[in-house]
Chains A and B, each alone.
Chain A
Amino acid sequence: MNTVLPSAGWSGAMLGLAASIVLALLGFRAQRNPDRVRHARLRVTAWCMLGGAVLSMSALIGALVTDNFAMSYVAEVHSRSTPLFFTITSAWASLGGSLVLWTLVLAGYTAVVARQVRSVEDRLGTGALGVMGVVGIFFFGLVTTVANPFTIMANPPADGPGANPLLRDHIMVAFHPPMLYLGFVGFTVPFAFAMSALLLRRGGVDWLRRSRRAGLVAWSFLTGGLVLGAWWSYEVLGWGGYWAWDPVENAALIPWLVATAFLHSAVVQVKRGMLQSWNFVLVLATFALTILGTFLTRSSVVVSVHSFSQSAVGPALLGFFVLVLGGGFTLFALRGERMASLSRPERLASREGVFLVNNLLLTVFAFVVLTGTVYPVLVEAVTGAQVSVGRPFFDRMAVPLSLGLLLAMGIGPFTPYRHATFGVMWMRLRIPLLIASSAAAAMVLAGVRDPGVVLVMFLVTASVTATVRQLVVTVPHPRPAAVWRLLRSQRAYWGGQLAHLGVAVVALAIVSSSAFAQRATVTLERGASAEFAGYSVTFEKTERHELSDRTSTDAHIVLREGGRVVRVAEPRLGVFAGRPQAVGQPSVWPGVAQDVYVALGALEDNRVVLNLYRYPLMSWLWAGGALVAAGGFWAVSGRLRRKKTDEEAAPEVVSRA
């Protein structure tokens, strides 16, 4: 009886693998020879793939929930005392399960693409399905072989060790990994369309529009995943930061940067018919970098907070990365020449010129982060010596590049295509520049002497006011209904502007939370107080709570302002059954103007060591990140709508022909 769920899970993965193989064969055959494949077959195959993935995920969760320790994955990551919520999320807490989640997301995207392929005459679409089948073969292959979570244990243990304590302590574990996967795996779709277009030798706007739409969806999810990840690490890791330039954070950031470059350069191709080859390069690189990122996460090559799992999956992923890179770029080298756009930008002072600057900065950014991340691994592989590349290096590179990007962001959306004269730019940017320089001068006069903060404030104000000016100038009547209609009718542009607004907010939050941060380490006896950032901080007592899977000790730290209690912070220390290391959880007091962050350095009954931090405008970082993701989704929602009207119009053309 105990073997039913493991068998079901494994059968699901096998069904997915079989469907992927069939999909790859049918897809490529349909692309070469549309008459020889029936449309329904393609669709059924894609649904089989999804069904297989759903079956294996359900079996996995079912086995976790029913404490079925006969399944190897359950024995590895589950313990009977884990609460239900974290039992379900532990389905992706370790390698095998996270690959099952990967196949599920991949199969979901495949089903969506299959739905949009309306007939076998859509050779671009059928070819893309074939490519997705090939990617599916690889990932279902991993699940059924080297990373198989469904192995049946000959001697099932009575209980297991449970997941890594960090992964069963915070609600974010239910949101960050799935969202990140929706982003990461989503880049398979643009890759599939690009490969299909190369195989067909058919460039043009069709592949690009479909790639861009899918890319926007994936990019928005990845943005959300990155922001949630930063938030999560801020909330739990206890060192007061949200981004450590950790190799695995970088592994998610690099594809994001390249994908951002693609979203921008795709606009140039749509509007001006330029940069087609470059767009192919960006799409191929984004997908290859997601595989590289997964390799870095899921093998033990880098030391990182995310190295939860180590196994033989590493070599397989590295092989697949080489295959994608080699295969993709060989095909591009053979076919790319004839796909190259013939026209090129006439002048630097034009919208397409600024887009190129943006692309240059983003790709250099991605390259630098990639180099810094992989460098220690390479040095160790070649010489055996260990070197570190960390925050000082990345900050020194990232700060000037980010300032350049902010500048381009402030100018680009308001620059005309083809040729921007000084007169036009001055007319459009005069008021924003005046407001921005007033803001900067006011800050300086108010006593802010940090050049970084003032510069970012200037760029951000200019960018935001220029957006507002653009809205006011473009809208036909100054009424809310008209503004709403405008925002809805030009979703790609205004979605982009919403994302830019989010970037501006993020930039402001990053720079002010780091430049005006206050930190202190204090040791307090019970009942004693210390002063920090205008608050009197008192250590009142400790409380011990016995929970089902851990013993948690809270310290009650009372913050008073002018004698009035404003907050009782309760940083905790949890000791999990069967885990030697205690896990701390800081207490964050978020606010619109500032966060006060209280982390435990050490905790005894009568004495506590506290690390205290005050970060101005920290919450704006998460809000800004949400705006960026929302901007992406807003831009996509319009594209879906337009697509529908296109399809309604399409049958007429066919009947006339």
Chain B
Amino acid sequence: MRRLLVRWGSGLLLVVLLAVTVIGLAGGPGRETDRAYELEQRLRCPVCKSVSVADSPSDTAQAMRQVVRDQIAAGRTDDQIIDHFRARYGGWVLIDPPMSGRTLALWILSLAAVASSTTWFVLRWRRRPEPVEPSTEDREMVDAALEEIRTRDPIEEQP
């Protein structure tokens, strides 16, 4: 009786705690988004190696951050701002590869890898493995080994 109580009690407590967490997360104010920072993270710093404009300490990146802020202040949309940079620096400047054009295949490849491996995994578990029958050769080997052990001189078995 007591064990049952503990089992159900702890289950209930777990559900309550998780509910508090989820409701708290869903109800609370989300992380405020900084539009300029998000745009800057999508642009590549032209004078650095693999760092975005948001992360780069270089002068060029600083100038580009200023351009982003000016354009936001001028009321332009995200797409317009991104297109502005693309027109100036080429597709290279987008460190966040768009799901279109030359970088479409990248997304297709990556998502296909996820999808195909998941499918393979699910199918594998659908199919019941067939029991493997030992071959007659294997059976003979086992029989011979058993026979040898049975007929062995008991003294030899001492290690």
Residues of A participating in the B interface, judged by any CB pair closer than 8 Å: 238-241, 244-247, 303-305, 307, 342-344, 346-348, 356-357, 360, 363-364, 367-368, 371-372, 375, 379, 383, 385-393, 397, 426, 430, 433-434, 437-438, 440-441, 443-445, 449-451, 454, 458, 521, 584, 599-602, 611, 652, 656
* Complex interface: chain A residues within 8 A of B121 (CB): 356-357, 360
* A390 engages B44 (CB within 8 Å): yes
* Complex interface: chain A residues within 8 A of B91 (CB): 385-388
* B93 engages A388 (CB within 8 Å): yes
Q: List 26 A-B contacts (CB under 8 A).
A: A241-B55, A244-B49, A245-B50, A346-B129, A360-B117, A360-B118, A360-B121, A364-B114, A371-B110, A385-B90, A387-B94, A387-B97, A387-B102, A388-B93, A390-B52, A391-B52, A391-B96, A392-B41, A433-B14, A434-B17, A441-B17, A443-B21, A444-B20, A449-B28, A449-B30, A454-B21
Taking a contact as CB atoms closer than 8 A, the residue among B7, B10, B92 that contacts A386 in the complex is B92
Shortest C-beta distance, A448 to chain B (Å), equals 9
* Complex interface: chain B residues within 8 A of A238 (CB): 57
* A444 engages B49 (CB within 8 Å): no
Shortest C-beta distance, A216 to chain B (Å), equals 26
* Complex interface: chain B residues within 8 A of A387 (CB): 91-92, 94, 97, 102-103
Report the Cα distance A654→B112, complex, angstroms.
53
**Docked complex: B51-100 residues within 8 A CB-CB of A:** 51-52, 55-57, 59, 62, 90-97
A342 and B102 in contact (CB under 8 A), knowing A303-B49, A387-B91, A441-B21? no
* Complex interface: chain A residues within 8 A of B93 (CB): 388
Shortest C-beta distance, A519 to chain B (Å), equals 9
A434 and B10 in contact (CB under 8 A), knowing A385-B91, A441-B21? yes
**Can you name the residue of chain A whose Cβ is closest to the Cβ of B134?**
A342
* Complex interface: chain A residues within 8 A of B90 (CB): 385-386
* A449 engages B31 (CB within 8 Å): yes
* B13 engages A393 (CB within 8 Å): no
Report the Cα distance A559→B68, complex, angstroms.
31
Shortest C-beta distance, A361 to chain B (Å), equals 9
**Can you name the residue of chain B whose Cβ is closest to the Cβ of A246?**
B50
* Complex interface: chain A residues within 8 A of B154 (CB): none
Report the Cα distance A372→B44, complex, angstroms.
15
* A389 engages B31 (CB within 8 Å): no
Taking a contact as CB atoms closer than 8 A, the residue among B49, B62, B102, B125 that contacts A383 in the complex is B102
**Can you name the residue of chain B whose Cβ is closest to the Cβ of A348?**
B125
Shortest C-beta distance, B148 to chain A (Å), equals 13
Residues of B participating in the A interface, judged by any CB pair closer than 8 Å: 7, 10, 13-14, 17-18, 20-21, 24-25, 28-31, 41-42, 44, 48-52, 55-57, 59, 62, 90-97, 102-103, 105-106, 109-110, 113-114, 117-118, 121, 125, 129, 132, 156, 159
* Complex interface: chain A residues within 8 A of B109 (CB): 371, 375
* B20 engages A364 (CB within 8 Å): no
Report the Cα distance A360→B122, complex, angstroms.
12
* Complex interface: chain B residues within 8 A of A357 (CB): 121
Taking a contact as CB atoms closer than 8 A, the residue among B13, B56, B159 that contacts A239 in the complex is B56
Report the Cα distance A245→B49, complex, angstroms.
10
Taking a contact as CB atoms closer than 8 A, the residue among B30, B59, B106 that contacts A389 in the complex is B106
* A391 engages B41 (CB within 8 Å): yes
* A372 engages B20 (CB within 8 Å): no
Report the Cα distance A484→B103, complex, angstroms.
53
* Complex interface: chain A residues within 8 A of B106 (CB): 371-372, 375, 389, 393
**Can you name the residue of chain B whose Cβ is closest to the Cβ of A435?**
B17
* B110 engages A239 (CB within 8 Å): no
Report the Cα distance A372→B107, complex, angstroms.
9
* A375 engages B103 (CB within 8 Å): yes
A385 and B110 in contact (CB under 8 A), knowing A247-B50, A391-B95, A601-B62? no
Shortest C-beta distance, B152 to chain A (Å), equals 11
Report the Cα distance A597→B103, complex, angstroms.
35
Report the Cα distance A162→B114, complex, angstroms.
47
Taking a contact as CB atoms closer than 8 A, the residue among A240, A304, A346, A449 that contacts B55 in the complex is A240
* A389 engages B103 (CB within 8 Å): yes
Shortest C-beta distance, B9 to chain A (Å), equals 10
Taking a contact as CB atoms closer than 8 A, the residue among B13, B92, B117 that contacts A434 in the complex is B13
Report the Cα distance A611→B51, complex, angstroms.
15
* Complex interface: chain B residues within 8 A of A450 (CB): 31
Shortest C-beta distance, B153 to chain A (Å), equals 12
**Can you name the residue of chain A whose Cβ is closest to the Cβ of B121?**
A360
Shortest C-beta distance, A631 to chain B (Å), equals 27
* B117 engages A364 (CB within 8 Å): yes
* Complex interface: chain A residues within 8 A of B110 (CB): 367-368, 371-372, 397
* Complex interface: chain B residues within 8 A of A364 (CB): 113-114, 117
Report the Cα distance A652→B79, complex, angstroms.
77
* Complex interface: chain A residues within 8 A of B103 (CB): 375, 379, 387, 389
Shortest C-beta distance, B24 to chain A (Å), equals 4
* B132 engages A437 (CB within 8 Å): no
Taking a contact as CB atoms closer than 8 A, the residue among B57, B94, B105, B129 that contacts A388 in the complex is B94
* B97 engages A244 (CB within 8 Å): no
Shortest C-beta distance, B114 to chain A (Å), equals 6
* Complex interface: chain A residues within 8 A of B24 (CB): 441, 444-445, 449
Report the Cα distance A449→B30, complex, angstroms.
7
Shortest C-beta distance, A267 to chain B (Å), equals 19
* B102 engages A385 (CB within 8 Å): yes
* B132 engages A343 (CB within 8 Å): yes
* Complex interface: chain B residues within 8 A of A368 (CB): 110, 113-114
